[in-house]
Amino acid sequence: MSQHKSRRGLLIAIVLVIVVAGAGALWKTGMLPGFAQGNPGEGAPDDSTTVAEQKADGGDKEDKEKEVTVSVELAFASRRAIDSYYRAASVIEANRLVSLVSKTQGRIGALFVEEGDWVHKGQVLASLESDREEVQLRQAELKLKDQQRLLDRNHAMLEEKLISTQEFDDVQSRYDQAVAERDLARIAFEEKRIVAPFDGQITQRMIVIGQMVNAAEPLLSLADFSPLRLRVHLPEAVARKIEAGQRVLIQPEALDESLEAEVERVSPVVDPATSTVRVTMRLDDDQRARVGGFVKVRITTDSHAEALAVPKISLVEEGSLRSVFVAEADTVRKVEIRTGLYDERYVEVLDGLEDGWFVVQVGQGGLRDGTRIEVLNADEVGWSVDPESQGTSDLDGPLARAQEQ
């Protein structure tokens, strides 16, 4: 019994020692509730003061965020000509492009042209072997001469009334038959020759000397390049805005420069299969354009001479709404606008802006109403902030230049 009590007393003593040691450690670190390390009389920090300081720090951060300056580039709204375009694609075509074929079967006996050669109407380009047809033509011509002499002699005899009219008519009939036979022989001989039907250039040769060809087989390709033509199919609503004689810009795929064509005619009917109208354009003889080359066509469908315009890159689009950031002193203001025509660089502003206002064209991504800005191209566009204007931009200089342009 006495041993049990002594053990319990020992355990209690050990626990007390541990508690006292822990309390001393907490007191030294200032973590003991109700006590603080330091000079006598100093208490623990005031929780309310700490919260206030945190709020103050948070407010400073928000103010700093509000004062962040965004670097931008400006442009000013000004009056300029704006053209609306419709774009299409087409292929350059020759004025005339035909395949010259053989009218009969035979072997190529002679070839007088090569690809790229310029030829004239009626010029013989190639011929088939025609020995038989040549002999038959000469035979027919000789027979015709005999009939001609016989006819002349009988005509003299008829005048002297040495023969009857019926006998003379028989001779006349044989002469006419000889003329027809001569003409048929000449046609057969001519069919052995390939002749140019118009002035042009040989674009393709599909034969060689000694080759056997059949009737209607293509032998040569001949093109007339004066003028060149293009054809595009446009929606009916667009075609109604186009007139014959209108100038059109085309951009060949193989060239870095644009060429100018002219609308030659607009089809009076709509293709029911595609609901489009065919427009034919004429391109005057230009060695830079090649038949078969792919081109992009830009047709002007509307034009405004004095449109208030801003660069297209200044637009901020949110669904169907369009807006721009207008610079006012050292901040910006978001303004909703209504747009009209547009070209490659500029868009017409119908409502929301005034002539000479400055808009942000680069740097819109980091802006909102009231954001402070730093203008990187201030000297270029004539931007300046007048301290006496109370938040308005000095527009007189840029506006004057915009009107001059």
C-alpha gyration radius of the chain: 49
* Residue-wise pLDDT tens digits, 162-200: 888 899 899 999 999 999 999 999 999 999 999 999 999
What is the C-alpha to C-alpha distance for residues 386 and 396, in angstroms, rounded to an integer?
A: 12
One domain for residues 325 and 345: yes
Write down the pTM of the prediction: 0.56
With b for 16 or more beta-carbon neighbours within 10 A and e for fewer, the 328-337 pattern comes to: bbebbebbeb
Average model confidence (pLDDT) across the chain: 83
The residue that leads in pLDDT, 7 or 393, is 7
One domain for residues 186 and 127: yes
Spatial contact of 250 and 293, defined as CB atoms under 8 Å apart: no
* Residue-wise pLDDT tens digits, 207-261: 999 999 999 999 999 999 989 999 999 999 999 989 999 999 899 988 888 889 9
pLDDT at position 403 over 50: no
One domain for residues 145 and 200: yes
pLDDT at position 389 over 50: no
Q: Is residue 61 part of a domain?
A: no
Q: What percentage of residues in the chain have a pLDDT greater than 70?
A: 79
Number of domains in the chain: 4
One domain for residues 104 and 217: yes
- What average pLDDT score do residues 56-67 get? 54
SS (H, E, C) the chain: CHHHHHHHHHHHHHHHHHHHHHHHHHHHHCCCCCCCCCCCCCCCCCHHHHHHHHHHHHHHHHHHHHCCEEEEEEEECEEEEEEEEEEEEEECECCEEEEEECCCCEEEEEECCCCCCEECCCCEEEEECCHHHHHHHHHHHHHHHHHHHHHHHHHHHHHCCCCCHHHHHHHHHHHHHHHHHHHHHHHHHHCCEEECCCCEEEEEECCCCCCEECCCCEEEEEEECCCEEEEEEEEHHHHCCCCCCCEEEEEECCCCCCEEEEEEEECCCCECCCCEEEEEEEECCCCCCCCCCEEEEEEEEEEEEEEEEEEHHHCEEECCEEEEEEEECCEEEEEEEEEEEECCCEEEEEECCCCCCEEEEECHHHCCCCCEEEECCHHHHCCCECHHHCCCECCHHHHHHHHHC
- What average pLDDT score do residues 380-389 get? 68
Lookup: tokens for 212: 């056997």
Task: Give me the pLDDT at residue 21, please.
Answer: 67
- What average pLDDT score do residues 96-119 get? 94
What is the C-alpha to C-alpha distance for residues 124 and 112, in angstroms, rounded to an integer?
A: 7
Task: Give me the pLDDT at residue 140, please.
Answer: 95
Spatial contact of 323 and 339, defined as CB atoms under 8 Å apart: no
Task: Give me the pLDDT at residue 163, please.
Answer: 86
One domain for residues 111 and 219: yes
One domain for residues 312 and 390: yes
* Residue-wise pLDDT tens digits, 246-265: 999 899 988 888 889 999 99
pLDDT at position 146 over 90: yes
Task: Give me the pLDDT at residue 26, please.
Answer: 61
Lookup: tokens for 314: 């200044």
CATH number, residue 345: 2.40.420.20
Of 256, 254, 261, 250, nearest to 296 by C-alpha is 250
- What average pLDDT score do residues 274-299 get? 88
Lowest-confidence region among 9-13, 164-168, 331-335: 9-13
Task: Give me the pLDDT at residue 396, please.
Answer: 43
The residue that leads in pLDDT, 26 or 179, is 179
- Using 50, 70 and 90 to split pLDDT, how confident is the model at 91? very high
Q: Is residue 252 part of a domain?
A: yes
CATH number, residue 130: 2.40.50.100
Q: Is residue 88 part of a domain?
A: no
Q: What percentage of residues in the chain have a pLDDT greater than 90?
A: 48
Lowest-confidence region among 52-61, 92-101, 360-369: 52-61
- How do 69-76 and 372-375 pair as beta strands? parallel
Residue at a domain's end among 179, 200, 223 = 223
124 is in which domain, residue-wise? 99-223
